[in-house]
Structure 1
């Protein structure tokens, strides 16, 4: 199933988080167009930035033994940006599950067009005794979900 179809839309009332990026030389292949792993790197960065914006920066997550392991990812490519092009990653919660959630990412060009659409599924989990120890998925509470709600 394509990333644009995998989840029909953001979770009800999900806020849109934006992260600007500029295509760097190292993001491009020898032809000078974006190399697909850049999108996956940006999806990961945008998800972590989104959590930081709602009060869960990496330092807090480490201190509380929280992690967001990735269990699925996909990306559909529509246009090819090149070195120096500006891009905005728009991220929303597409689905809340019991212990997992999906994040939809749309990569927008400066003209508003779409470069690509991606989807990640992650598990809200906690290390048993710190990073490196086994992880266990935890139920996603309403308080966490509320942090991602669109402002009213």
Structure 2
């Protein structure tokens, strides 16, 4: 199952050559991830931290830059849950420019996050209600 997040690349995200500066790619991944919380989990992203006291720091991230993105490009970030463990999950992200073929992303990457209690920073299991919503969403794709 793929979650899709659309946006336009803002002017400030481009370097002097007019290409998206690479750290912004990880920000685009995060924007899709955060939007997933709002749309699929029906939870404002900040509630995860502020009300539930759950953090999800990144323990691994990588990206492969296949073709450039530029200021003004209309893009779609595809987000997929690759693995949902007890205390972590791994997401795959692909970024497509409007008009690109479905099998020709501009950027692909993965991010693994571990769930921690915000006060202790010790790992903890993903809360059951969140897990149930993600599993229900994933089941729609089968």
Q: TM-score range by the shorter chain?
A: 0.7 to 0.9
Name 1:57's counterpart in structure 2: 44
1:111 is aligned, of 99, 103, 126, to 99
Deviations 1:91-140 (A, max 9, x none): 0101112211101101011113311001100012222xxxxx32222123
List structure 1 segments (4+ residues) > 6 angstroms apart after TM superposition.
none
Mind listing any 5+ residue stretches in structure 1 that lack a counterpart?
Answer: 1-14, 128-132
Mind listing any 5+ residue stretches in structure 2 that lack a counterpart?
Answer: none
The correspondence of residues 136-147 of structure 1 with structure 2, limited to 5 A, is 136-140=122-126, 143-147=129-133
Secondary structure of 2:131's counterpart equals helix
Name 2:70's counterpart in structure 1: 82
- Superposition RMSD in Å: 1.7
Structure 1: distance between partners of 2:82 and 2:26: 17
Given the alignment of the two structures, is residue 41 of structure 1 paired with residue 27 of structure 2, yes or no?
yes
What TM-score, normalized by structure 2, do the two folds share?
Answer: 0.84
The alignment covers a number of residue pairs equal to 133
1:125 is aligned, of 116, 120, 128, to 116
What TM-score, normalized by structure 1, do the two folds share?
Answer: 0.79
Change (3 A) 1:142 1:64: closer
2:82 is aligned, of 74, 89, 94, to 94
Secondary structure of 2:106's counterpart equals strand
